[in-house]
């Protein structure tokens, strides 16, 4: 595209007492948006960086892994935590813990998880279908968060499938319950990550909720995509997940784009190698274990090197790298002068998958409120859950 792009006339995003100057949010991603990755992203640009989701029950029980998930760097100014939960009491207790112990400045609730083991029990993206349960959770969470003046937001999908859409109703309930913003991933649970995110649904929600910020999510792979989403849907901010995998510098591009600058990060292979190494070091620090840090960096390799000239054998060795020392050796084998490959390094990455019918509890779709057996089962929906 020729010429200087116009500055995007988008004011800072206000979430209660928090102002996010560049209205860009790193989507919560289980297994990805830990302290290490958030730090890397933060170094490139402004925005709000959400933790991996933590289940309310595990947090209330102070499970060590949950305490790791909600930990932040000392200089992380907006400490943002995402909770997953299915029961108002437990979610309320988790919010209370975060607020009373001053462990978060922003709390998001996850109503978008499409994973069968979650939806089969009525959790995640299946939950907003049950209006009584959804309302109970959001109201309780907002009430507890308000005691510490902590803004609470929700993140959801369009619904269970195209015949069972929930987003407009859930958005209104959340607004009426006092949330600071709602984020919509423009897919149904049945779509998983397949097909294309429906930005029209995002525009529809923006129109339906004129009085609170609406955030758009789905299929933003570049700063240009983010600008397009804002222009097309009128959202107050964008939420970016897979597009940042292996590209923490996307936050720099986003800040530039939103400020009207055409400057973009186009790292050569040397810069990518340095970022991979730094990411690995930060992971080792985050996990307090070289073994765990290196295990974690492996899944990022294909994303970092997408489109770059890296031999198949070296790629395979990078994907099984055991120590920082071996990583240093492997990265030294790369041609550091190899330039940014352009298009090949861009576009979709990460989870895709194919559509499937959403697994649901028996008779879930028959009514919009819980029956007594569903009520009894719902508590089990929180056990052993990770990822969205
Ligand atoms: C690996 C992975 C983990 C995810 N974990 C979460 C999560 O913990 N909480 C959540 O609300 N969404 C989760 N999501 C969904 C993302 O936040 C986001 O809504 C989705 O990826 C669509 O945005 P995108 O097209 O920008 O990737 C996850 C997605 C991926 C790919």
pLDDT of residue 8: 74
Choose one of 27, 181, 191 to mutate for the ligand 1 pocket test, by most ligand atoms within 8 angstroms of C-beta: 27
Over its C-alpha atoms, the chain yields an Rg (Å, rounded) of 21
Contact 243, 249 (CB under 8 A): no
Output the residue whose Cα is nearest ligand 1's atom 30.
Answer: 29
DSSP category for residue 366: G
User: Are 97 and 334 spatial neighbours (Cβ–Cβ below 8 Å)?
Assistant: no
Catalytic positions are 113
Indicate which atom in ligand 1 lies nearest the CA of residue 111: 11
Report the separation in Å between the CA atom of 112 and the middle of ligand 1, taken as the mean of its atom positions: 8
The structure tokens listed for 69 are 């998930």
Residue 268: which of 345, 196, 199 has the closest Cα?
A: 345
- Ligand 1 binding pocket mutation candidate from 106, 353, 388 (most atoms within 8 A of CB): 388
Whose Cα sits closest to atom 21 in ligand 1?
Answer: 241
| Mean pLDDT, the chain cut into blocks of 10 residues (388 residues total) | 61 96 97 98 95 96 96 96 96 98 98 93 95 98 98 98 98 98 98 96 98 98 96 98 98 94 96 98 97 98 97 96 98 97 94 90 95 83 57
The pLDDT of residue 368 is 97
Distance of CA 311 to the CA centre of its chain: 31
Calculate how far, in angstroms, residue 173's C-alpha sits from the geometric centre of ligand 1. 23
Is 241 annotated in some ligand binding site? yes
Which residue's alpha carbon is nearest to atom 12 within ligand 1? 388
Nearest CA residue ID for atom 20, ligand 1: 241
User: Pocket residues for ligand 1 (CB within 6 Å)?
Assistant: 27-32, 52-53, 82, 110, 112, 155, 185, 197, 217-220, 240-243, 350-351, 387-388
Q: Is 30 annotated as a binding residue?
A: yes
Q: Residue 1: what pLDDT? A: 44
User: What was the pLDDT predicted at 296?
Assistant: 98
Kindly report whether the global pTM for this prediction surpasses the value 0.85: yes
Q: What angle do CA 236, 240, 244 make, to 5 degrees?
A: 145
Contact assessment for residue 119 and residue 148, using Cβ atoms and an 8 Å cutoff: no
Is residue 175 within 8 A of residue 168, CB to CB? The reply is no
- The response to whether 82 counts as a known ligand-binding position is yes
Burial class (CB in 10 A: 0-12, 13-18, 19+), 7: exposed
| Ligand 1 mean position, distance from CA 118 (Å) | 15
């Amino acid at each position: 595209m020729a010429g200087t792009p116009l500055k995007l006339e988008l004011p800072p995003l206000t979430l209660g007492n928090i102002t996010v100057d560049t209205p860009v949010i790193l989507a919560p991603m289980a297994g990805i948006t830990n302290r290490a990755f958030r730090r890397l992203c933060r170094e490139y640009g402004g925005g709000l960086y959400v933790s991996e989701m933590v289940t309310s029950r595990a947090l209330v029980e102070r499970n060590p892994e949950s305490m790791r998930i909600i930990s932040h760097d000392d200089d992380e100014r907006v400490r943002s935590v995402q909770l997953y939960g299915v029961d108002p009491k437990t979610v309320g207790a988790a919010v209370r813990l975060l607020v009373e112990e001053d462990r978060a400045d922003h709390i998001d609730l996850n109503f978008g998880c499409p994973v069968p083991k979650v939806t089969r029990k009525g959790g995640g993206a299946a939950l907003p279908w049950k209006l009584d349960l959804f309302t109970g959770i959001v109201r309780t969470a907002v009430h507890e968060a308000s005691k510490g003046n902590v803004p609470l937001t929700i993140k959801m999908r369009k619904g269970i499938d195209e015949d069972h859409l929930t987003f407009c109703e859930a958005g209104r309930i959340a607004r009426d319950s006092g949330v600071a913003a709602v984020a919509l991933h423009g897919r149904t649970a049945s779509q998983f990550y397949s097909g294309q995110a429906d930005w029209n649904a995002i525009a529809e929600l923006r129109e339906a909720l004129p009085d609170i910020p609406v955030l758009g999510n789905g299929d933003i792979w570049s700063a240009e995509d983010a600008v397009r989403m804002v222009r097309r849907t009128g959202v107050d901010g964008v939420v970016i997940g897979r597009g940042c995998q292996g590209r923490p510098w996307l936050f720099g591009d986003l800040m530039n784009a939103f400020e009207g600058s055409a400057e973009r990060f186009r790292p050569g292979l040397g810069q990518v190698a340095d970022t991979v190494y730094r990411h690995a070091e930060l992971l080792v620090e985050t996990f307090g274990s070289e073994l765990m840090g290196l295990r974690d960096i492996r899944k990022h390799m294909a994303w970092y090197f997408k489109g770059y000239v890296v031999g198949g054998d070296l790629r395979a060795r990078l994907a099984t790298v055991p120590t920082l020392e071996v990583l240093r050796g492997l990265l030294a084998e790369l041609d550091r002068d190899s330039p940014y490959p352009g298009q090949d390094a861009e576009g979709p990455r990460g989870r895709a998958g194919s559509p499937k019918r959403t697994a649901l509890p028996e008779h879930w779709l028959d009514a919009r409120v819980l029956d007594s057996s569903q009520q009894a089962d719902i508590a089990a929906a929180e056990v052993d859950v990770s990822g969205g």
